[in-house]
Chains A and B, each alone.
Chain A
């Protein structure tokens, strides 16, 4: 592909720390269509450093769409205009020469801004710590085939387990609800035999923690699933609702 140069006008959210009010700042960046969105930000930061300015803080790690770190809210949508991808998988060919692109951090009371585009998603870790695990005694690993699991059930559990905890669901939701994330984590274990022992305790503990973290309530807009880079299904939220009701009404 020819190396067309393109000029992008960026409006980036700059915020020193959690207590700073924050503001948009505008930058012009020369990019090329083959760059990923994060590489374009690398170019911007090189430029800012050369000019003796403070580079933009943004989260990134694997740059191959599986770590869930890159948390940019681009032109009004988490991870930008494409579906089913993270920011690192977004390329500049999705924009036109001369476009103005607005970049903001995830916005949720439960995700305080650390700096600029970087937010603290520790609330998700605390929800997992509350019950998003299976307790196993140490010892030899059990033979993988000793517990039979139907293929379709395994597939459904795996689909839920593909959640990378990026927080796009919270960022997209008008209520900043974390129900898609929590329901994926509840589902992946509720579906499998290994998850049965702690099934009721888990869903109640995780939902309680989610509520305590101050996430909003789900109003079934479906924005979370539509913006999820792993396309986690809304059926997981319905399953979590069932699991929770079952635990509260007839659980031990």
Chain B
């Protein structure tokens, strides 16, 4: 891997790593949001739980998820390292420093925003990823009548669920027995403190993307007068709409589903 050594040893190489991992995470956010918006469907979580089943069993998705974890860690720890060495390069602080005169607040606080986001990611994975894989989580049995195309759901116990068919047809019914991540999510977002923390995290992500989106392109050397306004507008739009979409889920559950 000597040809790619410069990615970890030179200042420009490190920028490229931050940009590429950042863009991957940006793309992930969109896909994660599209999947999660199924939580808003009034179907007792059938669509969302099927999606969760697919995401946790498909080998291609599973491989990509390990890549995602690696990129989150790389982006975060490379970011910490850069913030630390950049601080050292300054070697102290000015008596008076007017950063607002020449740069946007978000661009000067990426490390702080990123740290809050990392804390959020850890909490978020503890809330759902860990619970889904290892925690005590309710089970639900969905039965879809093929003839009438009607799906009914009923909670069952974990003991009942084990050993039974997880997804398949029994007679003229499609049966889907699953850990109910939908119910887990709805229950989680009934706690006002958790909702507040998720909303705060979305604001942090919006601010991080406000600078990060266009910055990633600049780091990769993509800067052209014809494309710059498009990249910038796209970045600002993305920074607002994606976190707003995510924020919709806890807000909807907390205020409209009680």
**A interface list, Cβ under 8 A from B:** 11, 13, 24, 73, 75-77, 81, 102, 104, 107-110, 172, 174-177, 179, 207-208, 210-211, 214-223, 226-227, 234-235, 237-242, 244-245, 248-249
Q: Is B16 in the interface zone, CB < 8 Å from A?
A: yes
Q: Does B90 lie within 8 Å of A176, measured CB to CB? A: yes
Q: Does A109 lie within 8 Å of B89, measured CB to CB? A: yes
Across the two chains, which residue of chain A brings its CB closest to B221?
A242
Task: Known A207-B10, A216-B89, A244-B12; judge A77-B103 contact (CB<8 A).
Answer: no
Q: Does B107 lie within 8 Å of A220, measured CB to CB? A: yes
Q: Return A212 CB to nearest CB of chain B, in Å.
A: 10
Q: Is B86 in the interface zone, CB < 8 Å from A?
A: yes
Q: Does B103 lie within 8 Å of A75, measured CB to CB? A: no
Q: Return A170 CB to nearest CB of chain B, in Å.
A: 9
A216 to B83, CA, bound (A): 9
Known: A76-B94, A107-B92, A217-B85. 20 other contacts (CB 8 A): A24-B95, A75-B98, A76-B99, A108-B91, A109-B90, A175-B87, A175-B89, A208-B10, A211-B10, A215-B89, A218-B219, A219-B86, A221-B107, A222-B104, A226-B102, A238-B221, A238-B222, A241-B15, A242-B221, A244-B10
A13 to B13, CA, bound (A): 36
Q: Which of B94, B99, B215, B225 has a CB less than 8 Å from the CB of A219?
A: B215
Q: Is B72 in the interface zone, CB < 8 Å from A?
A: no
A207 to B14, CA, bound (A): 13
Q: Which among A172, A179, A211, A241 has the greatest number of chain B C-beta atoms within 10 A?
A: A241
Q: Which of A107, A210, A222, A248 has a CB less than 8 Å from the CB of B11?
A: A210
Q: Is B101 in the interface zone, CB < 8 Å from A?
A: yes
Q: Does A239 lie within 8 Å of B95, measured CB to CB? A: no
Main secondary structure of the interface of B (DSSP, over half): helix
Q: Is B96 in the interface zone, CB < 8 Å from A?
A: yes
Q: Could you pull out 8 A-B pairs where Cβ atoms are within 8 angstroms?
A: A174-B108, A175-B89, A177-B86, A179-B11, A211-B11, A216-B11, A217-B82, A219-B110
| Chain A hits for B86, CB < 8 A | 174-177, 216-217, 219
Q: Is B93 in the interface zone, CB < 8 Å from A?
A: yes
Q: Which among B82, B87, B88, B95 has the greatest number of chain A C-beta atoms within 10 A?
A: B95
Q: Return B110 CB to nearest CB of chain A, in Å.
A: 6
Interface size on B, residues (CB 8 A): 42
Task: Known A107-B93, A108-B91, A207-B11; judge A222-B101 contact (CB<8 A).
Answer: no
Across the two chains, which residue of chain B brings its CB closest to A174?
B108
Q: Is B211 in the interface zone, CB < 8 Å from A?
A: yes
A222 to B85, CA, bound (A): 19
Main secondary structure of the interface of A (DSSP, over half): mixed
Across the two chains, which residue of chain B brings its CB closest to A235?
B223
| Chain A hits for B3, CB < 8 A | 249
| Chain A hits for B153, CB < 8 A | none
Q: Is B220 in the interface zone, CB < 8 Å from A?
A: yes
| Chain A hits for B14, CB < 8 A | 217
| Chain B hits for A107, CB < 8 A | 90-94
Q: Return B228 CB to nearest CB of chain A, in Å.
A: 8
Q: Return B6 CB to nearest CB of chain A, in Å.
A: 5
Q: Does B90 lie within 8 Å of A239, measured CB to CB? A: no
Q: Return A184 CB to nearest CB of chain B, in Å.
A: 14
Task: Known A219-B215, A234-B223; judge A77-B107 contact (CB<8 A).
Answer: no
Q: Does B223 lie within 8 Å of A76, measured CB to CB? A: no
Task: Known A235-B223, A238-B218; judge A109-B88 contact (CB<8 A).
Answer: yes
Q: Does B218 lie within 8 Å of A216, measured CB to CB? A: no
| 8 Å CB interface, B3-39 against A | 3, 6, 10-16
Q: Is B66 in the interface zone, CB < 8 Å from A?
A: no
| Chain B hits for A221, CB < 8 A | 102-104, 107-108, 211
| Chain B hits for A176, CB < 8 A | 86, 89-91
| Chain B hits for A245, CB < 8 A | 12, 16, 220-221
A128 to B227, CA, bound (A): 32
Across the two chains, which residue of chain B brings its CB closest to A22?
B92
A215 to B88, CA, bound (A): 9
The 8 A-B pairs of least Cβ separation, nearest first, read A76-B98, A238-B223, A216-B89, A242-B221, A175-B86, A226-B102, A109-B91, A216-B86
Q: Return A150 CB to nearest CB of chain B, in Å.
A: 16
| Chain B hits for A104, CB < 8 A | 94-96
